[in-house]
Homo-oligomer: A and B are copies of this chain.
Amino acid sequence: MPQLRIALAQINSTVGDLAGNAQLHVDWARKAAEAGAHVVVFPEMSLTGYPVEDLALRKTFAQGSRQAVDDLARRLVEAGCGELLVYLGYLDSDEAGPRDAAAALYGGEVVGRQFKHHLPNYGVFDEQRWFKAGQTLDVVRLHGLDIGMVICEDIWQDGGPVTALGEAGVDLVVAPNASPYERSKDDIRLPLVARRAAEAKAPLVYSNLVGGQDDLVFDGDSIVVGAGGELLGRAPQFVEHLLVVDLDLPAGGHSAEGSFSGLTVRRRTLGTEPVPAYERIAEAPICEPLSDEAEVWSALVVGLRDYVQKNGFRSVTFGFSGGIDSAITAALAADALGADAVYGVSMPSAYSSEHSRSDAAELARRLGCHFRTEPVEDMVRVYVDQLKLAGTGLAEENIQARVRGMLLMTLSNLDGHLVLATGNKTELAVGYSTIYGDAVGGFAPIKDVFKTHVWELARWRNAEAEKRGETPPIPENSITKPPSAELRPGQLDTDSLPDYPLLDDILDDYVEGDRGYADLLAAGFDAETIDRVIRMVDRAEYKRRQYPIGTKITFKAFGRDRRLPITNGWREGDQRG
């Protein structure tokens, strides 16, 4: 039975950095060659990064990308990878428009070139804006074995390109992917890939990106599945990795050219010599997927780390309030960048409790990060006196939050730190934050984490530390005390908001589920609370628009995932008789 050694290069590309990404391809292809692989599969748009967004429409960028493929073909030969068949993803462009493309490189040449057929245009994806769809399938014959390819969304289609490859008859299907992380998505991928492998009647190699790109994070989790649907190898999540798998390919060189399921299959033969005998490696690793909490934590860490590093920052700063949101942000930042890159600032006002100061200091002590205290009373007083704000309520409360935001931006100007906004998804949903106050920042690490989930993650992270015999990073008091913005004496979040478990339940239905008033009533929430929450969410849209980006972890994150008008006369429930 013919065998082939396949490597999956799960790399962390940077959008737009063609030179840096090309170097990654050379480095990882060399590793694959050294591991004796015959084929290496990089992820979707591995050479350009993903998503390139409207850079897809920039002609010079498409030219640069095509050129980078040709240059890379040559460089791979120089690097000793001339006999390695290299699949990679890049941006192409022809008379029809830009293309989400994959190329097969071998012996210094482009031996196959294919465009993505199915272009997702929902959720965070705007691919029908960016790309034109492909119509052809390129099969490459190597050592007498026929290898077909499909790109990402193409495998989500019943009766699509994979079916066509199955009809044409191939020995192996490779699938470069750029599938952003969201909670529970990996539960869907494996059965899907298994189904497609069965349809192709051939093993399927699913190679996914890792790393953060603005609000998206890619989790890797690359897999190889046999023709019978059996899992043959699985890479770890959230780290660059070369997964090497020896495949038994039962058939051997039987594909046909022509039209299958309405698609054109083309062929290119590199050689029909059987694979020279080689020593089979041990079973490929099948990494266990992370637990739900570990997975989310990793997503948040990698999303933050890559935003900071890919944008040339070395350190972050933000307010240490003593509360849970800043505490978890600090723990994430320390995990992402090291404690030495974290600059916490306590900014007590007249209304700050003693425990908020001591909890903030305790957080810094546990993490071992930088910490300073800048009281804001003098700054606040000038405004309060000049504008006569005493007793004005909201105006006086917001001033404190805004003085703090301004102070952090000043420290950023002085020392080059990136400012982080520490708001969570619940706050962002109901607008429980001060625009230009606690909302300032270049990145918002937990903006897609509901408040109740913040607490769960904090408890999980502390427990992990205890398991490892380390100091739990988050002060217990920050987890257990009732949340407060401390903008007036004795203030509690629950003065203005429903209890967080109830609030998050409603938000889960209204924001994630896009459900209407009747559905919410049917779910058992009371009418008054539904009204109140829905109105808060709808009215906060203008604040969300100006909020920094942050890592998406849920099915529907605020931002390009949920595009609603600011000017919006629709109110759920107004239609009741």
Contacts and interface: CB of A to CB of B under 8 A. Distances in A.
A409 B128 CA distance: 40
Interface string A412-450: 011000000000000000000001100010100000000
A480 interface: no
A351 to B, nearest CB: 17
A128 B568 CA distance: 21
A361 to B, nearest CB: 20
Contacts of A549: 545, 566
A260 to B, nearest CB: 24
A567 B214 contact: yes
A311 interface: yes
A444 to B, nearest CB: 11
Contact of A395 (B49, B310, B410, B572): B410
B18 A565 contact: no
A507 to B, nearest CB: 15
Nearest to A213: B567
Interface stretch (A143-151, A241-249, A318-326, A513-521): A513-521
Interface stretch (A154-162, A288-296, A384-392, A465-473): A384-392
A14 B567 contact: yes
A53 B564 contact: yes
Contacts of A51: 565
Interface stretch (A57-65, A99-107, A198-206): A57-65
A516 B58 contact: yes
A311 B307 CA distance: 34
Contact of A406 (B16, B128, B383, B569): B383
Nearest to A310: B567
Interface in A159-188: none
A20 interface: yes
A512 interface: no
B409 A55 contact: no
A55 B14 contact: no
A122 to B, nearest CB: 6
Given A20-B569, A126-B129, A406 B409 contact: no
A238 interface: no
Contact of A387 (B59, B407, B517): B407
A51 B565 CA distance: 8
Interface stretch (A25-33, A374-382, A496-504): A374-382
B398 A402 contact: no
A286 to B, nearest CB: 32
Contact of A16 (B17, B440, B565): B565
A52 interface: yes
A426 to B, nearest CB: 20
B406 A563 contact: no
Contacts of A14: 567, 569
B379 A394 contact: no
A318 to B, nearest CB: 14
Interface in A483-532: 514-519
Given A374-B386, A436-B436, 16 more contacts: A15-B568, A18-B570, A51-B565, A55-B568, A57-B514, A61-B570, A67-B575, A121-B126, A126-B563, A213-B565, A378-B386, A383-B407, A383-B410, A387-B407, A406-B406, A406-B436
What are the 9 closest A-B residue pairs judged by CB atoms, nearest first? A17-B569, A60-B516, A16-B570, A395-B413, A16-B569, A16-B568, A53-B563, A54-B563, A402-B406
